[in-house]
Amino acid sequence: MRDATHALIVIDVQNDFCPGGALAVPEGDRIVPGINALMEAFPAVILTQDWHPAGHSSFASQHPGKAPMEMTEMPYGPQVLWPDHCVQGTNGAAFHADLNTTRADLIIRKGTNPAIDSYSAFFENDQTTPTGLEGYLRTRGIEHLTMVGLATDFCVNFSAVDAAKLGFAVDVRMELCRAIDLNGSLAAARDGMASFGVTLT
Ligand code: VGL
Ligand code: ZN
């Protein structure tokens, strides 16, 4: 067991990101047993859940003439348009049935603002609106974060980089993550995380 300054952050292991889901990540379900096992070694376990209202502005369906995986320009910058996914209260937004959610100290939901997407567990995509996770971790005295989950190149990447920028020591267990890999986004995410001092193992 690691000491009380370590937390495991499990990013978005939800049905819509697993095979058969609306935004399926290849092999997204394969990481579940390993994540459950890893929980045993951590005194703190935090789960994140992508949790969009219906009609969220990151959905291509809200942008006439746009298809999923195309880009648009939002007030806060460029944004990938996604298929409708992880709509609040739906089965697609639920955690994978085999994920051990009993062990979670905290479940943090993100992407709830209809106007702003949120990949990171710390800040929405405007890079300024906090989710509150930083305060939770700091008040518990947590300094070291191990991250796993979906998708490597989006929510894991943004969460890991934000955590490193905030001064947490971060490692990402790559074998317990899976990627969407849109136009080389996995390679870019690896480089980006490493450049901010995230340890990739
Ligand atoms: C995610 C795209 C849209 C993720 C969430 O969890 O990586 N990706 N919403
Ligand atoms: Zn989303």
Kindly report, residue by residue over 117-168, the tens digit of the pLDDT: 999 999 999 999 999 999 999 999 999 999 999 999 999 999 999 999 999 9
Q: In the chain, what percentage of residues exceed pLDDT 70?
A: 100
Q: Which one of the ligands is nearest to 181 CA?
A: 1
Which atom of ligand 1 has the smallest separation from the CA of 12?
6
Q: Quick check: is 86 catalytic?
A: no
155 is catalytic: yes
How far apart CA 153 and CA 179 sit, in angstroms, is 6
Dihedral sign (CA 71, 81, 32, 166): positive
The residues, ordered by sequence, that sit 6+ positions from 163 with a Cβ below 8 Å of its Cβ are 9, 121, 122, 145, 147, 170, 198
- Tell me the average pLDDT of the chain: 97
Q: What is the pLDDT of residues 46-57, one digit of tens each?
A: 999 999 999 999
Q: Is 106 helix (H, G, I), strand (E, B) or coil?
A: strand
Residue 133: its H or E element: helix 133-139
What pLDDT, in 10s, does the model give residues 62-79?
999 999 999 999 999 999
16, 18, 110, 153: the catalytic one is 110
Residues 71 and 80 sit within 8 Å (Cβ to Cβ): yes
Nearest ligand 1 atom to alpha carbon 82: 3
What is the pLDDT confidence band of residue 90, given thresholds at 50, 70 and 90? Answer: very high
Question: 86, 155, 162, 177: which one is catalytic?
Answer: 155
Q: Considering the entire predicted model, what is its pTM? A: 0.97
Q: How many CA atoms lie within 13 A of 21 on its CB side?
A: 30
**Residue nearest (by alpha carbon) to ligand 1 atom 6:** 155
Pocket probe mutation, ligand 1, options 15, 31, 59, 85, max atoms within 8 Å of Cβ? 85
Cα distance between residue 86 and residue 72, in whole Å = 20
Model confidence at 1, pLDDT cuts 50, 70, 90, reads: confident
Which atom, in ligand 1's list, is nearest to the CA of 17? 6
What pLDDT is stored for residue 44 in this prediction? Answer: 98
Helix (H, G, I), strand (E, B) or coil at 145: strand
Residues 101, 107: contact at Cβ < 8 Å?
Answer: yes
Q: What pLDDT is attached to residue 59? A: 98
Phi, psi of 158 (to 5 degrees): -65, -35
